[in-house]
Amino acid sequence: MPGDIGNTGGRPGNASGGGGVLTQPAPNNPVSANSTAPTVPGVVGTNATVVAGTAIAAQSGVGVYGGGTIGVQGTGGIGVYGKGNQFAGQFEGNVQITGILSVTDNANHTIAGNLTVGNTVTAGGLIANLNATIKENLTVGGTVNVAGDVVLANQDCAEDFDVGTSTIADPGTVLIIDEHGQLRESWQAYDKKVAGIVSGAHEFRPGLILGRHMIANDGNRRVPVALIGKVYCKVDAQYAPIEIGDLLTTSLTPGHAMKASDRGMAFGSVIGKALAPMESGRGLVPVLVALQ
């Protein structure tokens, strides 16, 4: 337990193995506190309202308040520890949060250093001027303004499309637009209704997904279809060996692409350009998506 709390002109607080507080009335003498036990805090600040002789914690009170150039400075393993559900202020150094950061108001809260959050971030008025590392989810309710570059680690830009419940649409599948405006796996050669390739096959993952919501209004599934970038695609080389740089189109094999050997028929049905060869059989090859 902390020792006695001294007021202006008061005495030092001491407790065996516990926290202590020393206050001095002179302006140039700082308040100091020490604890000899590793698990006992040096300073405990509480704001309370006294009602009928009983201390009741005030909901909007301040336990410890710091003002000036440096209001509160902490050193050690954890310099300053705060437990609550609100975030406010401006930080000139690095901020590391192991749990959830939630900023729900519209005021600006600036972090001029690095921000590292171990869990979910809900950013209302949060501004991180330098590096921000989010290990879990980031939810932004307003506009994201980026003055520099946006760097995405993954490969393609995709968009979610509705597919029928009976459609096989696993990653790498070539899809076409059916008569109902939904997507289904391709099944004809040189089909001009080709829509794209389902993203996410092999080690390639979409770097950006547009229109993200998992269930369509009519209950059908939605899958990400690669629009630009690199994606692995199902191909069938029985029609012709595939070489690097070959244009690919739909084939008679459901959900598979093939080499577009007939350039006249290929116009309007090209999926992309092969980035790896396949001499025979079926498999996945990386493709640079280029619908044309």
Interatomic CA distance for residues 283 and 281, integer angstroms:
7
In this structure, the answer to whether residues 109 and 62 fall within a common structural domain is no
Q: Based on the domain organization, do 230 and 115 belong to the same domain?
A: no
Residue 158 has what pLDDT? 86
Same domain, 54 and 122: no
Instruction: Using the 3D structure, point to which of 123, 151, 179 is the last residue of a domain.
Output: 151
- Does 124 lie in the same domain as 74? no
pLDDT at 272: 94
**Is the sign of the CA dihedral 134, 137, 141, 147 positive or negative?**
positive
Quick one: 146 and 254 in the same domain? no
> Could you tell me if 117 and 67 lie in one domain?
no
175 lies in the same domain as 259: yes
8 Å CB contact between 163 and 220: yes
Q: What is the pLDDT along the chain (292 residues), one digit of tens a residue?
A: 444 444 444 444 444 444 444 444 455 556 666 666 666 766 666 665 555 544 444 445 666 666 666 667 776 666 666 665 555 565 656 667 766 676 666 666 666 666 677 666 667 666 665 566 666 666 676 677 777 777 777 777 888 888 877 777 899 999 999 888 889 999 999 999 999 999 988 888 887 888 777 555 566 688 889 988 899 999 999 999 999 999 999 999 999 999 999 989 999 999 999 999 999 999 999 999 988 7
pTM of the prediction?
A: 0.57
Verify that 104 and 9 share a domain, yes or no: no
Q: Which of 122, 96, 128 is nearest to 109 (CA)?
A: 128
Whether 260 and 163 map to the same domain: the answer is yes
Split into its structural domains, the chain has a count of 3
**Residue 161 sits in which domain range?**
156-289
Q: What is the CATH number of the domain that holds 232?
A: 2.40.300.10
In a shared domain, residues 75 and 3: yes
Q: Which of 105, 132, 151 is the last residue of a domain?
A: 151
